[in-house]
């Protein structure tokens, strides 16, 4: 019998804006993209897929968008998780925009970060929602944030993008992390274990760290002068891959899915931003053709999983954490 892998789709459910324009604190955010989510959910329902919508304050603060989320929450195979953009979550900064460093929740003074977390959590509660899974905006997390989550009954942090960091000052550094979920033991007898569930990002080879090191070296002189990364990619010797419906790396996702199975990961995680369902909602989708490409990738992924029921079991983020905890305690 083949090893079963839990599969989940995650949606960063948020406002539209040009990510390259900075991090506005007071500009009224547009959440028109949320009206596209029922179509997305109908597609997922057709294949029996499980979806976690990580919803932020801007969405819940808008009456029409909030109504869509509340309706989705009543559907089977749907989880409503917690998402936060600290730059436009009260208490607001008096500046018009914050610098990139302060767009990461973990870089804020803890008293301010906690107040923003409380704002979002209270808004969830006021609208009949009780999240137990979290994804930080820009993949921000920390020990303090996780302790706050655990104090509020959360069981999963889905903010980890393994093997990565990026150049923004104060960005998370997940280069030490791999695909495998990480359990934090209960802090007291009445608490469950808390799970970090990484996204599925890597390369088209099983020896991920080795091949990422090759790519890193290829980006340095003198190899970069020979365009070595592009050559390695074109020859398919090694190329970065991501189970992501909007990113160019997502074009390689079906082959990457086979690599993940070979590695034996217990869970695979697809991701997409809700703003990618609307033209101009973010830099990934400047045209209608780009939006349609996102829809096409989603249907391809769903169909691939449907062809392999002996290998994959759909589960939301919280369900994955619950199943992993059950297995850890068995």
**pLDDT, tens digit, for every residue of 149-179?**
999 999 999 999 999 999 999 999 999 999 9
**Residue 230 resides in a domain:** no
Give first-to-last CA distance, the chain, whole Å: 20
Strand-pairing partners, residue 244, are 271
**Residue 221 resides in a domain:** no
Least Cα distance to 167 among 243, 212, 100 occurs for 100
| Omega before residue 91 within 30° of 0, cis | yes
Q: How many residues does the chain have?
A: 330
Give the integer Cα–Cα distance in Å for 106 and 169: 12
Give the integer Cα–Cα distance in Å for 7 and 259: 14
**Residue 244 resides in a domain:** no
H helix count then E strand count, the chain: 10, 13
Predicted TM-score of the model (pTM) = 0.96
Strand-pairing partners, residue 201, are 242
For residue 2, pLDDT over 70 is answered with: no
Task: Tell me the pLDDT band of 27, cut-offs 50, 70 and 90.
Answer: confident
CA Rg value for the chain: 19
Count structural domains, the chain. 1
Identify whether the C-beta of residue 272 lies closer than 8 Å to the C-beta of residue 26.
no
**Residue 26 resides in a domain:** yes
Give the integer Cα–Cα distance in Å for 216 and 226: 14
**Residue 301 resides in a domain:** yes
Give the integer Cα–Cα distance in Å for 327 and 330: 5
Give the integer Cα–Cα distance in Å for 309 and 54: 26
State whether residue 173 is helix, strand or coil: coil
Residues of the chain with pLDDT > 70, as a percent, come to 99
Strand-pairing partners, residue 78, are 51
Identify whether the C-beta of residue 238 lies closer than 8 Å to the C-beta of residue 206.
no
Task: Tell me the pLDDT band of 289, cut-offs 50, 70 and 90.
Answer: very high
Give the integer Cα–Cα distance in Å for 111 and 118: 11
**Residue 255 resides in a domain:** no
State whether residue 166 is helix, strand or coil: coil
pLDDT, tens digit, for every residue of 53-111? 999 999 999 999 999 999 999 999 999 999 999 999 999 999 999 999 999 999 999 99
Mean pLDDT confidence for 321-330: 94
State whether residue 217 is helix, strand or coil: helix
**Residue 198 resides in a domain:** yes
Give the integer Cα–Cα distance in Å for 90 and 45: 35
**Residue 88 resides in a domain:** yes
pLDDT at 1: 44
CATH assignment at residue 144 = 3.20.20.370
pLDDT at 193: 97
| Domain range enclosing 39 | 5-202+266-329
Identify whether the C-beta of residue 202 lies closer than 8 Å to the C-beta of residue 208.
yes
């Amino acid at each position: 019998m083949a090893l079963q892998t839990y599969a989940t789709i995650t949606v960063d459910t948020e406002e539209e804006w040009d990510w390259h324009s900075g991090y506005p604190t007071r500009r009224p955010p547009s959440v028109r993209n949320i009206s596209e989510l029922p179509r997305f959910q109908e597609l997922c329902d057709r294949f029996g897929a499980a979806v976690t919508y990580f919803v932020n304050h801007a969405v819940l603060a808008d009456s029409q968008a909030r109504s869509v989320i509340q309706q989705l929450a009543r559907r089977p195979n749907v989880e409503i998780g917690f998402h936060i953009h600290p730059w436009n979550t009260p208490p607001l900064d008096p500046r018009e925009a914050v610098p990139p460093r302060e767009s990461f929740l973990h870089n804020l003074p803890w008293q301010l970060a906690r107040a923003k977390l409380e704002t979002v959590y209270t808004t969830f509660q006021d609208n009949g929602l009780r999240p137990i899974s979290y994804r930080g905006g820009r993949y921000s997390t920390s020990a303090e944030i996780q302790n706050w989550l655990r104090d509020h009954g959360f069981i999963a942090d889905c903010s980890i993008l393994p093997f990565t960091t990026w150049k923004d000052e104060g960005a998370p550094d997940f280069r030490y992390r791999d695909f495998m979920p990480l359990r934090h033991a209960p802090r007291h007898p009445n608490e469950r274990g808390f799970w970090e569930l990484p996204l599925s990002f890597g390369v088209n080879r099983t020896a991920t760290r080795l091949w990422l090191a090759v790519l890193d070296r290829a980006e340095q002189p003198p190899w970069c002068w020979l365009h070595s990364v592009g050559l390695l990619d074109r020859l398919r010797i090694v190329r970065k891959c991501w189970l992501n419906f909007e990113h160019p790396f997502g074009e390689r996702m079906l082959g990457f899915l086979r690599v993940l199975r070979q590695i034996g990961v217990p869970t695979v995680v697809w991701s997409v931003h809700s703003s990618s369902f609307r033209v101009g909602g973010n830099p990934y989708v400047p045209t209608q053709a780009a939006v349609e490409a996102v829809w096409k990738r989603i249907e391809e992924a769903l169909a691939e999983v449907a062809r392999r029921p002996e290998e994959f079991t759909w589960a939301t983020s919280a369900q994955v954490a619950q199943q992993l905890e059950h297995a850890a305690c068995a």
